[in-house]
Structure 1
Amino acid sequence: MSSVPPAPPRPLSIAILLNSYKSRFLPAIQASYVRTISAVAPDAELSFFEPANKGEFPDPASFDLIVFGGANVDARRSHPWILKLHDFLRELVLRHPNKKVLGICWGHQTIARVFGGEIADMDVPEMGVTTIELTDAGRQFFPHATSSGVLSIQQHHRREVALPGKGFRQLAFENQVLINEKNSILTLQGHPEKDAQTARLRMHDSMRWYGFDALDEKSWAKLDAQIESEHEGQIIWQRILEWVDEPVLGSGMRMGRELKM
């Protein structure tokens, strides 16, 4: 009697929220996600949504992972589309408690805000590849960094999470990487989806952030070298996609009490 071969595993389905408002860089950002994720998961199915520009949101039931990506607005603002995104996040975690959620940069800050955390301006903004120090829990989460205790990741932000949301703990110091107690929400201040090609598109922000002169060749060259530095974006994505398959844990808190309404 012949046995029926097992069905091949279903490709991972990922919904990515592109939150930049009327940005000419959206096609480049989307392409960067495709390049980076496809390098580690060629079969992954990526779908993109634009809450800020089109009011689009995914059906959580149709995806394995929901990504709240970066944006070009202050995460402390309360524009109508931002409040709708907050509502979407609340409904997502209440109605789909086992769904995996990832926050990147603005998404990292926004998730912290919705869960009762605080966002603050930085003394010195971060741009280009930066090394962040992992906590003991972070070393366990990122086993490739057990010995080094650090991650190298593209950064582009002038605000930070000053206080994590309720039910979250640090995987990296200074709230650079956070995970909730249920193991269902992971957030990163840095940009694992960005390669140097994409990061370079926003180099002009340095003139506002650092006071660079447009003709200051030395400063521009130093920043360009930092953007071009080796980073671990693909390795981080590989770990994120492995995490998607990990079980969601029980929690001592009720989700409705964690959320900032």
Structure 2
Amino acid sequence: MLYPSSFPEDPNPPPPRIAVCLNSYNSRFLPAIQASYVRVLGRVAPGAQLAFFESANKGEFPDPIDFDLVVLAGANVDPRASWDFILKIHNFIRTVVAQYPDKKVVGICWGHQTIGRVFGADIVNMDVPEMGVTSINLTEEGRKFFPHAAATGVVRLQQHHRREVAAAPAKFTPLAQGSQIFLNDNNTILTFQGHPEKDAQTARLRLHDTQRWFGFNAVDEKAWAKLEAQIETEHDGDEIWKRIMHWIREPSRGLYAPQPS
């Protein structure tokens, strides 16, 4: 496995070209979601060239050859469904793997689950959904991959999900416990159940889900205050994106890419 110290650093890397596939279907929050990526990448990679594609609503997909990184963002639908737009996203993943085996891909939340599904993993309902900043315990491989968290073995990310990947798909290594972060053996696909792009401002947009997920709303002042404090908790989103920017420049392992199922 390749880690930060195992390849020479380019002192003047070119600005990364990043494509973000927005997968939320008919969501009024798309402009705010897009803005969250602009904010975080503006902080950690000010020269980055960002392009957004409405993959769910308009069937837009990037040409992988034009980008250093393709991000499959979160969504508001069940990743186990087989609606037409979901199958098109599956086909896009298969195309990238088959035709651009060295292309770097990041999956976030729904993107993490969907990549898992395409590679044969099961997606299951959680006993208790996650919302707000959560501490994630890294595996030993995860400690090596995320140097900023090597000492503590913990990263903290905004969460907003009620489904999860049951176990890592074949040829993917868990970087965190609980199926939270995966890296494929070719060092080209990195996925997160959490949201490194989300800040508290963006996380607040979906607080209304507390009613159907947890059975409480703003009237329950004690529960609401606890959740608000969790959303406002300091997290590692910026550090994760710094690591991703570094990872973009790491070579693949040159392995034959396993084909999605």
Shorter chain as denominator, the TM-score bin is: over 0.9
Shift of 1:75: 0.5
Secondary structure of 2:75's aligned partner: coil
Partner of 2:50: 46
Q: Which residue type is aligned with residue 150 of structure 1?
A: V
Partner of 1:255: 258
Partner of 2:3: none
Shift of 1:10: 2.7
Secondary structure of 1:103's aligned partner: strand
- Give the Cα–Cα distance (whole angstroms) in 2 for the partners of residues 90 and 254 of structure 1: 11
1:206-225 correspondence runs (5 A): 206-225=210-229
TM-score by length of 2: 0.94
- Give the Cα–Cα distance (whole angstroms) in 2 for the partners of residues 195 and 85 of structure 1: 26
Partner of 1:245: 249
Match of 1:158 among 147, 151, 162: 162
1:227 aligns with 2:231: yes
- Cα deviation code 1:108-136 (max 9, x no counterpart): 00000000111000000000000000000
Partner of 1:85: 89
- Cα deviation code 1:167-201 (max 9, x no counterpart): 10100001100000000000000000000000001
- Give the Cα–Cα distance (whole angstroms) in 2 for the partners of residues 154 and 87 of structure 1: 28
Paired residues of 1:15 and 1:48 also in contact (CA < 8 A): yes
1:191-202 correspondence runs (5 A): 191-202=195-206
Q: Which residue type is aligned with residue 255 of structure 1?
A: P
Shift of 1:206: 0.9
Paired residues of 1:114 and 1:165 also in contact (CA < 8 A): no
Match of 1:74 among 62, 74, 78: 78
Partner of 2:4: none
Could you say what the CA RMSD is over the residues aligned between the two structures, in angstroms?
Answer: 1.0
Paired residues of 1:119 and 1:160 also in contact (CA < 8 A): yes
Number of aligned positions between the proteins: 250
- Cα deviation code 1:207-259 (max 9, x no counterpart): 110011441111111111100000010011000110010010033x5533xx1
Paired residues of 1:116 and 1:164 also in contact (CA < 8 A): no
Match of 1:107 among 107, 111, 119: 111
Q: Which residue type is aligned with residue 160 of structure 1?
A: E
1:174 aligns with 2:163: no
- Give the Cα–Cα distance (whole angstroms) in 1 for the partners of residues 194 and 41 of structure 2: 16
Paired residues of 1:86 and 1:114 also in contact (CA < 8 A): yes
Q: Which residue type is aligned with residue 71 of structure 2?
A: V
Paired residues of 1:111 and 1:165 also in contact (CA < 8 A): no
Which of 46-55 and 213-222 deviates more?
A: 213-222
- Give the Cα–Cα distance (whole angstroms) in 2 for the partners of residues 153 and 52 of structure 1: 25
* Structure label with greater radius of gyration: 1
Q: Which consecutive segments of 4 or more residues in structure 1 shift more than 3 A?
A: none
Give the 3 Å change call, closer, same or farther, for CA 92–149 of structure 1 in structure 2.
same
Unaligned runs of 5+ in 2: 1-11
